[in-house]
Structure 1
Amino acid sequence: MRKGLACAVLSACCFGLLPILGKLGFAHGLDATRMMQYRFVIGTLVLMGWFAATNRAALRISPRGLLKTALLGGVISPVQSTCLMLSLETIPAATTSLILYFYPAVVTVLGAILHRQRIGRQVGISLLLVTAGCALVFLDAVLRSVAPIGVLWACVSMTVFSAYMLLVQRLMRGERPLTFSLYVIAFAGLAFALLRGLPDLGSITPVQAWVALALGLVPTALAVTLLYMAIEAVGSAYASIFSTMEPVTTVAAAALVLGEPVFARQLAGAALIVAGIVLPNLSLLRRRERVAPG
């Protein structure tokens, strides 16, 4: 149990460091699409090497699964990740991360509309908390005169990610999650490789090389592997609860590593967003615990 929860927290922290690494990449001369190329290509090579050594079954995927991962990884994921990086180019990492974390509310609402599902009281309260948290983040951005184009890119990234999550829920049925995720990352790497071509390795500075390696290892290979280890050990509900460490990590690391100022409005918004994500998962766990003894 403890190992699974530790994996969930570490995975969320790894994902939360993506905006920080993006900021460091921009500061040392890398652009958005090149960083994403490094992230997905290196992440793919590391994951494939790891699975080849430890779990070769994870490398096998059906032709149907290959087509589905090509759509998600080759088309949607590059658009979402590029918009995310473009937002980081002009606005604080904490603001980008907190705007992105409005996606659970959007996914819930869109899912209810598309599947004609009733939103219960618990989920309704959760939506209000997340919405209020994001409203505080937007207010903070306005009062600090944060670049509107950066906020717009963050909103586009969040919207595309919401659609991505809905598609994942539908397309991953009947597929092995770990294999599915691996090939989504692989097709994203292929898309960016085709878009940008091979980099001039001779012109890469040592700092750029470290940022590229960190992007492939930390918020990609390591984060994905730890996430699925957590889900296997404690289930998706617990893993979802501890995934709220992601925006918390970004806000804290942005202050400590990048020197970004932290404002009370940001902290209040982050607290509301975290509460809104945790609430429905706690309810789900309580229901499971009541059913389990029977």
Structure 2
Amino acid sequence: MLAGLIYSFISAVAFGMLVIFAKLGYAAGMDAVEILQCRFTFGAILLGGWLALFRRKDILPDKKTVIRCGLIGLFIYPIQSFCFVTAAQYIPAATDALILYFYPVTVTLLSALVFKMKIDRTVALSLFLVTVGFALVFYDAFLQQMDPYGLTLAFGAMATFSVYLMVVQVLLRNTAPFKATVYVLAFAAVAYNIAGDPTFYFSMTRETLLIGVGLGLICSVIAVGFLYLAVEKVGSAYAAIFSSIEPVATLVAAGWLLGERVVALQYAGALLIIGGIVLPNIKVLLVRKQIADS
């Protein structure tokens, strides 16, 4: 259990650092496309290399996986990433990350509409907590008079991420997670290297190279790798609960590394969002325990 907890925390912190690295990239003179070129290209190379050495079966291609990951990696994921990273150019990293965390509400509503998922009282309470937490974050955004274009992009990232999760649920249901991840990263890298300037890598400074490698290593390889290690150790429900520390990790990093002003409303909103994410997972664990004990 302890190993799973540690792996989940490492993964959550690594995922939460994406918007921090984006801010550092902008400060170093990179633009959004260059930041995403680095994230996906270095991420695909590093994760692909690790899989080739230690989990070769997860990198062997098959036609169905390649086509489906191509659809996601070339079209859906790049749009979400571009909105999220570009929003960080106009609004604080903490606000950008917390708006993204409204996705459990949109995914649940879409699931109820598309997959006829039942919304019981526990799920309804979870949605309420996430919505109130989101309202606190958004209220603070109004107080700070944030750039409406940046807020629109953050909402776009949240909406696209919700659609992305729905598509993944349908298209990659029986695909090994590491295989899906490395191919989605690879196709996203292709998309951004076509959209951007492939010769950009040859003009990188030491600072931008470190940021680029950090994006690939921390925000892709470590984030994804440790999440799957946590799932192997404790299961997906526990991993989801332990990983819900991610928005708080982003808040702390934004205040500590970027010097952003993080107010009490944002911390309160983050805690309510975490509560909304944790609540249904606790119910799942209790039901599983009752089944196991009977």
TM, length-normalised to structure 2: 0.98
**Alignment match, 1:122:** 122
SS of match in other structure, 1:117: coil
Aligned to 2:233: 233
1:187 aligns with 2:187: yes
Correspondences of 1:100-115 after superposition (within 5 Å): 100-115=100-115
Amino acid of the residue matched to residue 167 of structure 1? V
Offset, 1:202: 4.4
User: Which runs of structure 2 are paired with 1:56-205 in the superposition (5 Å)?
Assistant: 56-205=56-205
Alignment match, 2:53:
53
Structure 1 residue 193 displacement after superposition: 1.1
Deviation at 1:61, TM superposition (A): 3.0
Aligned residue for 1:123, secondary structure, equals: helix
Could you list the per-position Cα deviations for residues 243-269 of structure 1 after superposition, in whole angstroms to 9, with x for gaps in the alignment? 211111100000000001111111111
Deviations 1:136-162 (A, max 9, x none): 111100011011111100000000000
RMSD: 1.0
How far apart are residue 173 of structure 1 and its match? 1.8
Aligned amino acid, residue 171 of structure 1? L
Q: Distance in 1 between matches of 2:61 and 2:109?
A: 32
Q: Distance in 1 between matches of 2:247 and 2:129?
A: 15
> Aligned partners of 1:199, 1:265: CA distance in 2, in Å?
44
Unmatched runs of 5 consecutive residues or more in structure 1: none
Native 8 Å contact 2:248 2:267 kept in 1: no
- Looking at structure 1, the residues matched to 2 and 278 of structure 2 have their Cα atoms a distance apart, in angstroms, of 19
Distance in structure 1 (CA, Å) of the matches to 2:121 and 2:112: 14
Aligned length: 294
**Aligned counterpart, 1:220:** 220
| 1:2 positional shift | 1.4
Whole-Å separation in 1 of the counterparts to 2:8 and 2:61: 26
For 2:57 and 2:269, the matched residues in 1 are separated by: 42
Any stretches of 5+ residues in structure 2 without a counterpart? none
With the length of structure 1 as denominator, give the TM-score of the two structures. Answer: 0.98
Relative to structure 1, the CA distance from residue 128 to residue 195 in structure 2 (aligned partners, 3 Å threshold; closer, same or farther) is same
2:275 aligned partner: 275
> Which runs of 4 or more aligned residues in structure 1 lie more than 6 Å from their structure 2 counterparts after TM superposition?
none
- Percent of aligned pairs sharing the same letter: 44
In structure 2, what is the Cα distance between the partners aligned to 1:197 and 1:146?
A: 31
